[in-house]
């Protein structure tokens, strides 16, 4: 089990940019196709708030949705999944298991072998190049 990082919302506001705070702490969504990075090479993606490793670049795919998409996390225990029935839709929200920051959603329309599409806000991630 992942050890939790607990901070007050005031502490998160000091750590995150205003847009990161809106997305990660207030369950916002960045605009589609606003990802500032494209193909970054081989590496991993961590939570922008707490640095927990979440996804590998080899598991990233082009979904056409406008958000970075992955078909498999580094470790399923690094993510929490919660039912999200907001906006008249039934979705599964994905949060960082360490700091409970909102990352995006997971959908059952991804490629093999998992059939999952983790649709993640780019602002919620940090890229770590493989050395």
The rounded distance, in Å, linking the Cα atoms of 69 and 76 is 15
- Exactly one of 47, 96, 99, 119 is catalytic; which is it? 119
pLDDT band at 128 (very low <50, low <70, confident <90, very high): very high
State the average pLDDT over residues 63-90. Answer: 93
Q: Is 96 a catalytic residue?
A: no
Each domain of the chain, given as residue ranges in start order, spans 9-129
Determine if the pTM surpasses 0.95: no
- Using CB atoms within 10 Å of the CB of residue 66, give its burial: 0 to 12 exposed, 13 to 18 middle, 19+ buried: middle
Backbone angles phi, psi at 78, to 5 degrees: -85, -5
Query: Is 9-129 assigned to CATH 3.90.1150.10?
Result: no
Q: What is the pLDDT of residues 14-53, one digit of tens each?
A: 999 999 999 999 999 999 988 876 667 899 999 999 999 9
The rounded distance, in Å, linking the Cα atoms of 123 and 105 is 14
Closest listed residue to residue 54, CA positions, set 127, 131, 130, 129: 127
Q: What is the pLDDT of residues 49-68, one digit of tens each?
A: 999 999 999 999 999 999 99
Residue 48 confidence (pLDDT): 97
Q: What is the pLDDT of residues 99-114, one digit of tens each?
A: 999 999 999 999 999 9
């Amino acid at each position: 089990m992942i050890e939790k990082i607990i901070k007050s919302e005031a502490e998160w506001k000091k750590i995150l940019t205003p847009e990161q705070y809106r997305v990660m702490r207030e369950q916002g969504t960045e605009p589609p196709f606003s990802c500032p990075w494209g193909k970054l090479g081989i590496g991993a993606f961590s939570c922008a708030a707490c640095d927990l490793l979440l996804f590998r670049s080899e598991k990233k795919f082009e979904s056409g949705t406008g958000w970075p998409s992955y078909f498999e996390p580094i470790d399923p225990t690094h993510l929490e999944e919660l039912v999200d029935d907001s906006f008249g839709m039934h979705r599964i929200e994905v949060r960082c298991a360490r700091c409970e920051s909102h990352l995006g959603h997971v959908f059952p329309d991804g490629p093999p072998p998992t059939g999952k599409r983790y649709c993640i806000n780019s602002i919620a991630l940090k890229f770590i190049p493989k050395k």
